[in-house]
């Protein structure tokens, strides 16, 4: 039967707001609670044990607020902690890795896909495995781009500094240097990759620059739209769709700097974005 409880969203910072935006477009009748662990971002350079612990602490907060489903809108947490999180909570939990991998496989024409992500996500090989599950003949070239998350968290998402950082980050996948210690040989027509998957939900905030650097011949895929579609299916299958009888409520929380969080949120949602609130996690230092 229908369920008017909110959907929980968790990310290491502001990146998951890109997923939230797509979900609100796709499912405007659903209420949401978003938690960004900005105080401890980025998760990418951290150990797997830290990622699992931090993610569990954040999901404890969402579960305590009686959410009906949780979207782990953080690629690092999805790659490293999803199995542990699903065993810990009895609500449906959706990650962002598999929806993004499916979208990339559908987009590629030459079966040569590049993935940019955090160090922890690349280390996990989660995208490699998910893409190979979809199509074992796709070549997957993963590349860690640790410079980009702190840039986005600081609100630097356009201008020359951001563009220079993006160009450095993408160079190994676009012919400017080695990726993961080796050189990618060109495919048919001299192309290294024809599809770039943004394996971090922070990166869509840099999407205009990334697309410009990649050029019009390459598809740039983020997992937000695919995750929104997967969430719609999950709610339908589990009979968790909202009734539509009441106005949905939205809450946003951050463990970090409130003003910085609000600035990014306002860029994505405009004046309709509800006021965010600070949140102190019990396990945070």
At 144-159, the pLDDT tens digits run 999 999 999 999 999 9
Predicted TM-score (pTM) of the model is 0.90
Q: Does domain 7-96+225-278 have CATH number 3.40.50.1860?
A: yes
| DSSP secondary structure of 163-192 | HHHHHHHHHHHHTSS-BTTBPPPP-GGG-S
99 neighbors 223 (Cβ within 8 angstroms): yes
Sign of torsion over alpha carbons 170, 157, 32, 12: positive
- In this predicted structure, what is the pLDDT of residue 188? 42
Is the pLDDT score of 274 beyond 70?
A: no
Residue range 163-189: mean pLDDT, rounded? 68
Is the pLDDT score of 181 beyond 60?
A: no
Task: Please tell me the CATH code under which domain 97-222 is placed.
Answer: 3.40.50.1860
At 240-273, the pLDDT tens digits run 999 988 889 999 999 999 999 998 898 888 876 6
- In this predicted structure, what is the pLDDT of residue 285? 56
Asked if the domains 7-96+225-278 and 97-222 are classified in one and the same CATH topology, the answer is yes
Domain definitions of the chain by residue range: 7-96+225-278, 97-222
- In this predicted structure, what is the pLDDT of residue 283? 63
Which residues are known catalytic residues? 74, 200
At 19-36, the pLDDT tens digits run 999 999 999 999 999 999
């Amino acid at each position: 039967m229908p369920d008017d409880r909110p959907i929980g969203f968790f990310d290491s910072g502001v990146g998951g707001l890109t997923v939230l935006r797509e979900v609100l477009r796709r499912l405007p009748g659903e209420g949401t609670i978003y938690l960004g662990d900005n105080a401890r971002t980025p998760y990418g350079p951290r150990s797997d044990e830290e990622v699992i612990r931090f993610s569990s602490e954040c999901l404890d907060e969402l579960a305590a607020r009686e959410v009906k489903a949780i979207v782990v809108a953080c690629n690092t947490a999805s790659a490293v902690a999803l199995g542990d999180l699903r065993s810990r909570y009895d609500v449906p939990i959706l990650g962002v890795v598999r929806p993004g991998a499916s979208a990339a496989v559908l987009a590629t024409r030459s079966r040569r896909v590049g993935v940019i992500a955090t160090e922890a996500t690349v280390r996990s090989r989660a995208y490699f495995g998910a893409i190979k599950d979809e199509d074992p003949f796709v070549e997957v070239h993963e590349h860690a781009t640790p410079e980009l998350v702190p840039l986005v968290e600081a609100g630097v998402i356009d201008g020359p500094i951001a563009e220079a950082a993006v160009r450095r980050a993408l160079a190994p996948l676009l012919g400017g240097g080695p990726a993961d210690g080796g050189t990618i040989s060109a495919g048919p027509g001299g192309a290294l990759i024809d599809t770039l998957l943004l394996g971090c939900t922070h990166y869509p905030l840099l999407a205009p620059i990334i697309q410009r650097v990649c050029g019009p011949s390459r598809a740039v895929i983020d997992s937000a739209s695919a995750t929104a579609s997967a969430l719609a299916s999950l709610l339908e299958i589990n009979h968790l769709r909202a009734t539509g009888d009441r106005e949905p409520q939205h809450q946003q929380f951050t463990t970090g700097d409130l003003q910085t969080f609000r600035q990014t949120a306002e860029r994505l949602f405009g004046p309709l974005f509800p006021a965010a609130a600070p949140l102190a996690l019990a396990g945070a230092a």
